[in-house]
A = this chain, B = another copy of it.
């Protein structure tokens, strides 16, 4: 008997609840086929109306807000198993454009299909909403860091967040992890210029706190950073007991 390999989304969910066979089937039907996309391909454009949701199967995607000029903000970063588009389910035109940051693949589905699914599987839907809320919370934390931390602290906080998020997908033994973002893009996520990000990164490297082996990053004193910045790993703190 052939057992299909489970998707990143399903394995993310399986971390928190034990799926029945029925639920597993329903999830597979919900996801449908995956679409392969290349780096820089659009997942959602901000110029076209959209009523779809995407589930990342592999790779990274990034949401950007652009105002006229070259003023760009990176509002969210998505990795395998993440849901894209839940946070703007009430708008017919996405408030940001979402593009692939690496090669990868996504499942596309309609909002309606997700909600119908939710009505059929309340327990799973509650978990999906909970998972999505973690990203919203991370956004809140980043807002706080951006408004009230120094540039260096912001950068450290950002790196800790990326590290924490990527651990949700696969545990790395070390504190080393891939960061497929240019310095300009890091700046766009933090409200800094690429030039200043460069100076900060080199400074952290010189003081031995960070090791850069593009595209990988290693945080050498993670716990020191975490206590200094009062960093909370929201992804590890998911509590789903209320729904059972």
Contacts and interface: CB of A to CB of B under 8 A. Distances in A.
Contact residue range for chain A?
35 or more
A203 to B, nearest CB: 21
A133 interface: yes
Interface in A86-118: 86-93, 95-96, 110-112, 115-116, 118
A87 B137 contact: yes
Nearest to A49: B239
A146 B112 contact: no
Interface string A114-155: 011011001001100111111011011111101111000000
A238 to B, nearest CB: 5
Contact of A148 (B67, B118, B125, B137): B67
A190 interface: yes
Q: State the majority secondary structure of interface residues on A.
A: helix
A67 B133 contact: no
Contacts of A126: 89, 111, 115
B242 A111 contact: yes
Contacts of A89: 126, 129-130, 133
B230 A147 contact: no
Contact of A125 (B111, B118, B146, B238): B118
A51 B242 contact: yes
A75 interface: yes
24 contacts: A71-B148, A73-B143, A73-B147, A75-B144, A89-B126, A90-B132, A90-B134, A90-B137, A91-B239, A92-B237, A92-B242, A93-B237, A95-B141, A95-B232, A110-B242, A112-B243, A115-B122, A115-B125, A115-B126, A116-B122, A118-B118, A118-B119, A118-B122, A146-B147
